[in-house]
Chain A
Amino acid sequence: MSGSEPHAGVVTCPTCELHVRVAEPNDAIEVYRRHGRVTGHDVEWERVALDVTTTSADVGSALADLDDGRPEGVPIGVLAAALSPRGVPIADVLDGLYELRMEGAIYEPTDDHVRVL
């Protein structure tokens, strides 16, 4: 892979010894879903190559930190990457987002991108 290609990091399933380099942050979410579909295992970020941080381990607060007003919203993979160093697994990010959506607290302007209301 050349240096000019996008690189968001590496995700892993320790049980399967899976390590997948992902180009875009939301590719991590696709791998998470694809792998879980056949194993039930939770894929996690192994290494994040994005410059994203949040001060909170709460999914809603972290999303508020990262929501910079872009109309397409924050990629779920970026949110998960930011929460990863705080010990929040991708599964909990997706569960948290589901609850927030069902409460009407956030919305999804484009597929797998979210914004606070």
Chain B
Amino acid sequence: MTRWNDGSDEIAAVSPDITDEANALPAEYFTDPSVFEMEKESVFGQYWIYAGHESAIPEAGRYFTRTIGDRQIIVTRDADGDVRAFYNVCAHRGSKMLDDTPMTDPGDLSRITCPYHLWSYELDGTLASTPKSFEEATLNPDIDDDEIPALDPEENGLAEVTTDSIGPLVFVNFAEEPRLSLAEQAGSMKSDLEALPIGDYQLARRYVSEVECNWKTFGSNYSECDHCAANHQDWISGVEIGDSELEVNDYHWILHYKYTEETDDEVRIHEEDEGRFYYFWPNFTFNLYGTADGYGTYYVDPIDEGRIQLVADYYFESTDITDDEAELIRTSRQLQEEDFEIVERQHEGLRTGALGQGHLGPNEHSVHRLHRLAQEAYDA
């Protein structure tokens, strides 16, 4: 049941059962700046968050940086070939070390060096060297050089962030002890994607957009297709939406959709004659379009409670894309722009404060799951 902020209704927690009355997250959770501040820790600090694609850092020393909420990390490959992530913060006095370096234009280094006092770290995060001024008390007459304790390389190394992967997709978890492993959070999505040769594909295009809505508003819209008939008319004309299925799992959900015409097996990365849109809590999507040999990923980074940055990446066999691949990107961009219009309208409505709590329909069970997960995160 819809609840208006007119004094007659009271909002309630999201019901476990979608058929109960209060089945949506209250509207204030989409507009309140303090909720977003809380989410930085309770959501983005506790669950597995997409960091980037391993293909950007094929060799030791290649790296990119990533900002998640207030946290800034370096994602690199160490001398043993393992992908690792560290806070982009020097162990000496907390300076930001490396300039922002996008995954699309990764950097290369043999050691991570802070430009402030030139503390230098190995690619495994251990302290490699400090300038002589940290070994000789030249300016301090109260200390003899032999009184200066040696700096333990491990204890004075960089703060590492827990990483794990689904194929080439690297995720990080900022919790000291993650409540779930990536395999537990991803469930069958991990085995689904790892059965596909997604590591053989290259990042061919990245489009980054800014949208005026809450990240959960965008995520909720992505998660259902009840809006498709009215808002994605070009796309829906080629899709048998009646034959589609919205499969909801613990932390991910999948829209399986069929095309009206059979697609060529040769142009699909997966076997089934269908497209698949995965949404992985809290803010990552994996898109198997079914009409071109490749895939896409989105991550939905909140800028604040009312704005997101949508990073859309497209992976194909070559960065020199074919006409079919260019057409797939065009279609995808059209879907994005159509979605931007409707989520911005929704956010504008929510910001008025008129609505206390919306009401989800039976085919919005994926949205219900997203709202339940948000509430669980807040209550944890």
A101 to B309, CA, bound (A): 31
Per-residue A-contact encoding for B111-131, CB less than 8 Å = 1, 0 else: 000000000000000000000
Name 30 interchain pairs, CB-CB below 8 A, sorted by A.
A13-B208, A16-B207, A16-B208, A16-B209, A17-B207, A17-B209, A17-B333, A18-B207, A18-B208, A18-B210, A20-B210, A33-B100, A34-B210, A34-B303, A35-B309, A36-B100, A37-B100, A37-B102, A38-B102, A38-B103, A38-B104, A38-B208, A38-B309, A38-B311, A39-B102, A39-B104, A39-B206, A39-B208, A40-B102, A40-B104
Main SS at interface, chain B:
strand
Q: Does A31 count as interface, using CB distance less than 8 angstroms? A: yes
A39 to B309, CA, bound (A): 12
Binding site for A on B (CB under 8 A): 65, 67, 100, 102-105, 206-210, 303, 309, 311, 333
A37 to B66, CA, bound (A): 8
Binding site for B on A (CB under 8 A): 13, 16-18, 20, 31, 33-41
* Contacts A18-B208, A39-B104, A39-B208 known; 11 new A-B pairs at CB < 8 A: A13-B208, A16-B207, A16-B208, A17-B207, A18-B207, A35-B208, A37-B65, A37-B100, A40-B104, A40-B105, A41-B208
* CB nearest neighbor in A for B309: A34
A44 CB → nearest B CB, Å: 15
Residues of B within 8 A of A41 (CB): 208
Residue among A31, A37, A38 with max Cβ neighbours from chain B (10 Å): A38
Residues of A within 8 A of B208 (CB): 13, 16, 18, 35, 38-39, 41
B220 CB → nearest A CB, Å: 23
Residues of B within 8 A of A36 (CB): 100, 102
A31 to B209, CA, bound (A): 10
A37 to B68, CA, bound (A): 12
Residues of A within 8 A of B67 (CB): 37
A57 CB → nearest B CB, Å: 27
Residues of B within 8 A of A37 (CB): 65, 67, 100, 102
B260 CB → nearest A CB, Å: 28
A40 to B107, CA, bound (A): 12
A18 to B209, CA, bound (A): 6
